[in-house]
Chains A and B, each alone.
Chain A
Amino acid sequence: DQQVKQNSPSLSVQEGRISILNCDYTNSMFDYFLWYKKYPAEGPTFLISISSIKDKNEDGRFTVFLNKSAKHLSLHIVPSQPGDSAVYFCAASFNQFYFGTGTSLTVIP
């Protein structure tokens, strides 16, 4: 049973534009959400997180939005850069972390 879903396997965006990556979850008990970025042949690296008591968290070019009523999480990257090209995983936590299947982002120069 996939409790965290990323329905877009891939996304292509022009350099300088906004990238929006989406994530849906089913378990209302999740209280902590994270985004990870993964380059080929490397482990995932932490990008940004948000607690369930907030609806927005911003760190530089990266902003995470949480809509608890819709059980929806999104990551905005503005402006997108070629170095942002990677696979992005969302994760949700309640006792343990549950990961989505990832979205491969390609930023076109």
Chain B
Amino acid sequence: EAGVAQSPRYKIIEKRQSVAFWCNPISGHATLYWYQQILGQGPKLLIQFQNNGVVDDSQLPKDRFSAERLKGVDSTLKIQPAKLEDSAVYLCASSLLATNEKLFFGSGTQLSVL
């Protein structure tokens, strides 16, 4: 069974530039999550999708971050414009159901904003 795929693995940009991350969840998983993990901290939820609808985006900085999950399969997360404090690992995860189901994580995208 293929796992959660993410790309790119690494990205270095300058502040005020834009960047996009891509995620393809495990086939059949209805729920998709984007997490931000800053160095030394645990993953923090940015947005949760159930199929192609948003379940929770309360912690997404909507002035600069956006995410979509067209067709309820793969997803993109965009940052525009990036700030220095956006430097982090961006993890995508998926689960079969929405609640009390273990999450399967991708390898993440390490973003450095200079």
Contact = CB atoms under 8 A, between A and B. Distances in A.
Interface of A: 4, 6, 31-32, 34, 36, 41-46, 49, 51, 89, 91, 93, 95-102
Given A32-B100, A43-B4, A96-B56, A101 B41 contact: yes
A1 B108 CA distance: 25
Given A43-B106, A89-B42, A89-B43, A96 B100 contact: no
Interface of B: 4, 6, 33, 40-45, 48, 56, 91, 93, 99-100, 102-108
Instruction: Determine chain B's interface SS by DSSP, over half rule.
Output: loop
Contacts of B40: 101
Given A32-B100, A46-B102, A99 B43 contact: yes
Nearest to A6: B42
